């Protein structure tokens, strides 16, 4: 659990550094709008994938332990894992919607 906190804090610090660089040097005017959308799509998919992977790892290991003790709760544990996977699928759909603005 401590590693995930450090990963989140490091991502936040990188985003704050980028925001400060953009604010000071007005870099945003040199990057075309399509490039900013592409960066946003990449960040969206990366963070959603990271969150889903961390959640899936924790939930799957807990589900394996719970199923070993009580096999009858298999369906409930799989339902929780499906909900975690749905978050990543929603992020992928939103990324596709954002990417279509680049093309069209």
Radius of gyration of the chain from its Cα atoms, rounded to whole angstroms: 19
46, 78: one domain: yes
CA angle (23 as vertex; 12, 4 as ends), nearest 5: 5
93, 50: one domain: yes
Structural domains counted in the chain: 2
64, 93: one domain: yes
What pLDDT score was predicted for residue 68? Answer: 93
Q: Considering the entire predicted model, what is its pTM?
A: 0.64
Question: Over its length of 104 residues, how does the chain's per-residue pLDDT go in tens digits?
Answer: 566 666 677 777 777 777 666 666 665 566 677 777 788 888 888 888 888 888 899 999 999 999 999 999 999 999 988 998 898 899 888 888 888 887 76
39, 54: one domain: yes
50, 99: one domain: yes
Question: Which residues constitute the domain of residue 6?
Answer: 1-30
84, 56: one domain: yes
Task: Give just the sign of the alpha carbon dihedral 10, 12, 82, 42.
Answer: negative
């Amino acid at each position: 659990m401590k590693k995930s906190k450090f990963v989140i804090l490091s991502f936040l610090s990188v985003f704050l550094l980028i925001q400060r660089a953009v604010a000071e040097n007005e870099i945003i005017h040199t990057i075309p709008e399509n490039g900013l959308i592409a960066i946003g799509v990449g960040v969206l998919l990366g963070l959603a994938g990271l969150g889903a992977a961390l959640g899936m790892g924790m939930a799957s290991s807990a589900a394996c332990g719970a199923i070993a003790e009580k096999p009858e709760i298999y369906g409930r544990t799989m339902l929780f894992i499906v909900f975690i996977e749905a978050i990543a699928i929603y992020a992928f759909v939103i990324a596709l919607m954002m990417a279509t603005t680049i093309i069209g």
